[in-house]
Amino acid sequence: MIRWIRAFGAFCYDFVVGDDWRVAVAILVAIVATWLLSLNHLPAWWVLPVAVVAVVPWSLWRARRRDNQS
């Protein structure tokens, strides 16, 4: 049973997070920032688009560098 739960957990992690956990962490940080801004009645809709624009090229650059090294 424990092995099955572990395997299911690994599947869920791989399915949602994939091979770059930094992207998931950066998005969670951006969501918290959005929440904090909106809690203080400040415009917050722009935070996630900015996070995507910053995170995707960074992750791609890392993947490309890793690819070149191997």
What residue ranges bind other proteins (CB under 8 A)?
Answer: 11, 15-20, 23-24, 27-28, 31-32, 34-35, 37-39, 43-45, 47-49, 52-53, 55-57, 59-60, 63-64, 67-68
User: Rounded to the nearest whole angstrom, what is the least distance from the CB of residue 36 to other proteins in the complex?
Assistant: 9
Instruction: Give the type of residue at 11.
Output: F
Element housing 49 (H / E):
helix 47-69
Structure token digits, residue 60? 């791609």
- Of the two residues 9 and 11, which places its CB atom closer to other proteins in the complex? 11
CA dist 55 and 68 (Å) reads 20
User: Rounded to the nearest whole angstrom, what is the least distance from the CB of residue 6 to other proteins in the complex?
Assistant: 15
